[in-house]
């Protein structure tokens, strides 16, 4: 484990940014956002960014390719740019887990090479959460806010930043920063971890359980009558899906430019009426079915296809942002039977 005094944080950032593009959570009037580090930028103390870091690997819109039409010939133009190396600093444990959720979708065969390109070039520096929020429930999904995953894991105390490399990518980067950091033991980090775990146990959602949900439970939950009441005031907006770090559905759109086609990929939302619309029309006719889709996907379908892994990471963004305050926690408490009262 290495450490650096917080007084030298700028030097650390500058050293990273000298070779890779560095993104940090930074404060704005309207909440924390990931922005490129530049001289004078300060690290936000906010727990979470408003938009999740999934943008780095799975941007909201992306030009996949163009087609140029001349007479009877169509030329395919590859518009992709080879991604340069970049570093995302300060990713929370929940959001780091979201990358695994996305990986299982985009990196399974056939591999999404656009996604993979960005994933290969990104280094993730995570940060333990000393001040979790009332909306946090990562622990429900077995995520430890005191010990995030990531290429390098950080713990920030009053005066020191502790860094621990967990992967080869992390080791390479940390080795490059060795002149700025010094070797240290793990006692300070362990003390902080104990404090974090004590705090996590006291959170209002600490006892939320996912044990009733999971793989192969489709028939148990699909026809539950409660979906109707749960979804009754849902606006069918895309807020919950767009702020969610794990929502991964997309649509592909072609735009006629007059002399060719521009093909885009963009986020889609199961809450929208046009979602998965097919030639015969739409198979989810009302908001009840659309709403059910989102939560069944997180809690049942995804685990069914991915060795039991849930595709909610408990980040709490949808709890904070849904205009009507309906969310996955309320769904779990309503449908979740014994453990959730």
Partner 1 sequence: MQEITRNALVEKASALLADGTVGRVLAWKRGEFDYDVTPAVFQTAEELARDLVWNDFCGANFSKYLIKETEKSDEKVLVFLKPCDTYSFNQLLTEHRFNREKVYVIGVPCAGMLDVEKVKKSAEGIASITEDSDKIVIETLFDGALTLDRASLLAERCINCKSKKHTAYDELLGEDGEVLDSARFDEVAAIEAMTPDERFAFWQNELSRCIRCNACRNVCPACTCEKCVFDNPASGLENKAASDSFEEKMFHIIRAFHVVGRCTDCGECSRVCPQQIPLHLLNRKFIKDIDNFYGEYQAGAEVGSRAPIVDYTTEDLEPNEAVERGDDNA
Which chain residues interact with ligand SF4 by CB under 6 A?
A: 47-48, 92-94, 129, 132, 136, 138, 143, 145, 234-237, 239-240, 243-246, 271, 298, 312-318, 322-324, 326, 328
Q: In the bound complex, what is the minimum distance in angstroms from residue 136's beta carbon to partner 1?
A: 9
Angle at which helix 93-106 crosses helix 113-121, to 10 degrees, equals 140
Minimum Å distance from CB 204 to ligand SF4?
Answer: 12
Sole binder of partner 1 in the list 1, 9, 11, 133 (CB under 8 A) = 133
| Contact with partner 1 (CB under 8 A) among 108, 131, 182, 194 | 131
- Report what 189 binds from partner 1, ligand SF4, none; CB cut-off 5-8 Å by kind: none
Cα separation of 137 and 141, whole Å? 8
Count the Cβ atoms, other than its own, within 10 Å of residue 54: 22
d(CA 183, CA 173): 15
Q: Is 123 within 8 Å of 20 (Cβ atoms)?
A: yes
For the bound state, the minimum distance from the C-beta of residue 284 to ligand SF4, rounded and expressed in Å, comes to: 13
Residues between 181 and 200 with contacts to partner 1, criterion CB under 8 A: 199
3-class SS of residue 160: strand
Within 107-226, strands assigned E span 122-127, 152-156, 160-165, 182-183
Nearest distance in Å: CB 32, partner 1: 11
Q: 196, 14, 179: which is closest to 89 by C-alpha?
A: 14
Q: How far apart, in whole angstroms, are the C-alpha atoms of residue 57 and residue 229?
A: 35
Using the minimum distance from each CB to partner 1, give the nearer residue, 135 or 311: 135
Between 271 and 335, CB nearer to ligand SF4: 271
The listed partner (ligand SF4, partner 1, none) that binds 131, CB under 5 to 8 Å by sort, is partner 1
Residue 126 pairs in a beta bridge with 91, 153
Per DSSP bridges, beta strands 182-183 and 2-5 are antiparallel
| Closer of 264 and 301 to partner 1 (Cβ) | 264
Identify which of residues 181 and 241 has a Cβ nearer to ligand SF4 in the complex: 241
* Minimum CB distance to ligand SF4, residue 87 (Å): 19
CB 317 within 8 A of CB 132: no
Degrees to nearest 5, angle at CA 96 with 93 and 97: 90
What single-letter DSSP state applies at residue 158? S
Query: How near is the Cβ of 115 to partner 1 at its closest, in Å?
Result: 17
Bridge partners of 17, per DSSP, are none
At 13, phi and psi to the nearest 5?
-60, -40
Among 196, 208, 235, smallest CA distance to 312 is for 208
Which one of residues 36, 38, 60, 175 is an interface residue with partner 1 (CB under 8 A)? Answer: 60
- Report which of 141, 156, 173 is spatially closest to residue 245, judged by C-alpha positions: 141
Residue 138 binding: pick among partner 1, ligand SF4, none (C-beta 5-8 Å cut-off by kind): ligand SF4
Residue range at the interface with partner 1 (CB under 8 A); choices 96-104, 169-177, 230-238, 297-305 = 230-238
Binding residue for partner 1 (CB under 8 A) from 19, 42, 61, 120? 61
Residues written for the chain: 341
Q: Does 58 bind partner 1 (CB under 8 A)?
A: no
Is residue 325 close enough to count as binding partner 1 by CB under 8 A?
Answer: yes
273 binds partner 1 per the rule CB under 8 A: yes
Peptide bond into 110 cis (omega under 30): yes
Could you give the CA distance from residue 265 to residue 260 in angstroms, rounded to a whole number? 17
CB of 117: closest distance to ligand SF4 in angstroms?
Answer: 24
What's the min distance (Å) between Cβ of 233 and ligand SF4? 7
Task: Kindly identify the residues of this chain, within the stretch 293-322, that bind partner 1 according to CB under 8 A.
Answer: 319-321
Please state the closest distance from residue 190 (CB atom) to ligand SF4, in A: 18
Q: Binding of partner 1 at residue 265 (CB under 8 A)?
A: yes
């Amino acid at each position: 484990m290495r450490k650096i005094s917080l007084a030298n944080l700028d030097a650390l950032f500058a050293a990273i940014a000298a070779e890779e593009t560095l993104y940090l959570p930074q404060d704005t009037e309207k909440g924390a956002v990931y922005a490129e580090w530049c001289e004078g930028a300060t690290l936000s103390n906010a727990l979470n960014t408003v938009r999740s870091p999934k943008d780095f690997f799975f941007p909201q819109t992306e030009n996949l390719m163009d087609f140029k039409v001349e007479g009877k010939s169509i030329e395919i133009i590859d518009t992709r740019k080879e991604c340069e190396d970049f570093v995302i600093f300060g990713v929370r444990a929940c959001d780091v887990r979201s990358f695994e959720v996305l990986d299982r979708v985009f990196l399974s065969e056939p591999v999404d090479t656009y996604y993979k390109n960005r994933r290969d070039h990104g280094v993730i520096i995570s940060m333990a959460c000393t001040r979790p929020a009332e909306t946090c429930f990562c622990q429900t999904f077995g995520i430890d806010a005191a010990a995030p995953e990531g290429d390098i894991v950080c713990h920030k105390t009053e005066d020191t930043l502790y860094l621990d490399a967990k992967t080869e990518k992390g080791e390479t980067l940390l080795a490059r920063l060795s002149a700025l950091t010094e070797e240290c033991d793990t006692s300070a980090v362990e003390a902080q971890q104990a404090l974090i775990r004590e705090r996590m146990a006291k959170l209002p959602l600490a006892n939320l359980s996912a044990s009733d949900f999971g793989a192969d439970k489709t028939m148990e939950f699909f026809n539950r009558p409660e979906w109707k009441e749960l979804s009754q005031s849902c606006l069918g907006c895309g807020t919950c899906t767009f702020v969610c770090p794990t929502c991964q559905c997309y649509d592909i759109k072609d735009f006629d430019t007059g002399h060719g086609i521009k093909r885009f990929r963009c986020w889609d939302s199961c809450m929208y009426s046009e979602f998965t619309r097919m030639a015969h029309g739409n198979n989810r006719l009302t908001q009840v079915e659309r709403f059910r889709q989102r939560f069944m996907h997180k809690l049942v379908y995804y685990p069914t296809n991915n060795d039991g892994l849930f595709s909610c990471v408990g980040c709490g963004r949808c709890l904070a942002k849904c205009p009507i305050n309906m969310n996955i926690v309320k769904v779990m408490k309503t449908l979740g039977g014994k453990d959730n009262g």
